[in-house]
Chains A and B, each alone.
Chain A
Amino acid sequence: MSVSVVALIAATGVLVVAAAYTAGRLGHASAPWADRMYWLGQSLILAPVAARLFSRRALTPGETLTLIVILTVAEYLVKVCYSPTSFTYVDELMHWRTTADILQTGKLFTVNNLLPISPYYPGLEEVTSALASITGLSIFPCGLIVAGVAHLMFVCVLYVLFRHVSGSHRIAGIAVLVYASSSLFQSFDSMFVYQTLAVPFLGLTVLAVWRLASPKTVGNRVGWFTVAVLSALATVVTHHVTSYLLVATLEVITLGSLLAGDRASAAWASLLALVSAAAFAAWIVFVAPSTVGYLQPAVQGALDGVRTLLTGGHSSAPPPTSAASGPLGNRVLAGVAVLTMSALLPIGWWQVWRRYRRQSWVVALAIGSVSWYFIVAVRLAVADGSELAGRASTFVFVPAAFIAALAVYRLIGSALRWRFISSALRWRAPAVVAAAVVGALVLVFDGLANGWPPYWERLPGPYQVAGVERSVGPEQLASANWALAALGPGNRIATDIGDMSVLGSYGDQTPILDVSSLYISPTFTTAAAQRVQTESVGFVLVDRRLSEQLPASGQYFSDDPQAGHYTHPLPLAGLTKFDHVPGVARIYDSGNIVIYNLLGSQYYGS
Chain B
Amino acid sequence: MAHSQTDVAVTAAVAVVACGAAASGAPTAVMIVLGIALFAAPGYLLSQLLLSARIAGLERVAVATGLALCVPILGGVLLNAAGVPLHRPAWLGLIAGLTLVGDVAVFVRRRVGRAAPFTWRPRRIRLAPWHAAAFAAAVLVAAGGLGLARVGAAIQPQPGFTQLWLSTRYAKDHIAQLGVTNDQGSATRYRLVLLRNSHVSETWNLTLADGQTWQRTVPFSANDKLAANLYRPPDLTHPYRYVATYSTTAPRS
Contacts and interface: CB of A to CB of B under 8 A. Distances in A.
Contact of A85 (B52, B63, B91, B153): B153
Contacts of A474: 158, 161, 183
A478 B168 contact: no
Interface stretch (A102-110, A324-332, A434-442): A102-110
Contacts of A475: 159, 161, 183
Contact of B249 (A129, A473, A580): A580
A585 B168 contact: yes
A458 to B, nearest CB: 15
Interface in A365-415: none
B36 interface: yes
A227 interface: yes
B141 A14 contact: yes
Most chain B C-beta atoms within 10 Å of own C-beta, residue among A4, A82, A150:
A4
Interface in B130-162: 130-132, 134-135, 137-142, 144-146, 148-159, 161-162
Most chain B C-beta atoms within 10 Å of own C-beta, residue among A15, A73, A134:
A134
Interface stretch (A180-188, A230-238, A263-271): A230-238
- Interface band, chain B: 35 or more
A340 to B, nearest CB: 29
B38 interface: yes
Contact of B166 (A22, A583, A587): A587
Contacts, number: 280
B148 A18 contact: yes
Interface stretch (B64-72, B99-107, B192-200, B216-224): B64-72
Interface stretch (B3-11, B201-209, B238-246): B238-246
Contact of A4 (B80, B85, B134, B164): B134
B248 A130 contact: no
A220 B88 CA distance: 36
B247 A136 contact: no
A10 interface: yes
A153 B135 CA distance: 21
Given A4-B131, A84-B150, A106 B245 contact: no
B163 A157 contact: no
A567 interface: no
Interface string A213-241: 00000011011101100110110011000
A473 B134 contact: no
A486 B32 contact: no
Interface string B38-71: 1100000000011110000011011101110110
29 contacts: A3-B131, A4-B138, A26-B156, A81-B145, A84-B153, A107-B85, A127-B73, A133-B88, A133-B91, A134-B35, A156-B58, A156-B61, A160-B62, A204-B63, A223-B50, A230-B70, A234-B69, A237-B73, A237-B74, A479-B163, A482-B165, A486-B169, A579-B249, A580-B249, A583-B248, A585-B166, A587-B167, A588-B164, A590-B161
Given A204-B66, A478-B161, A586-B244, 9 more contacts: A22-B151, A80-B146, A80-B149, A106-B87, A126-B76, A153-B66, A204-B63, A227-B50, A231-B70
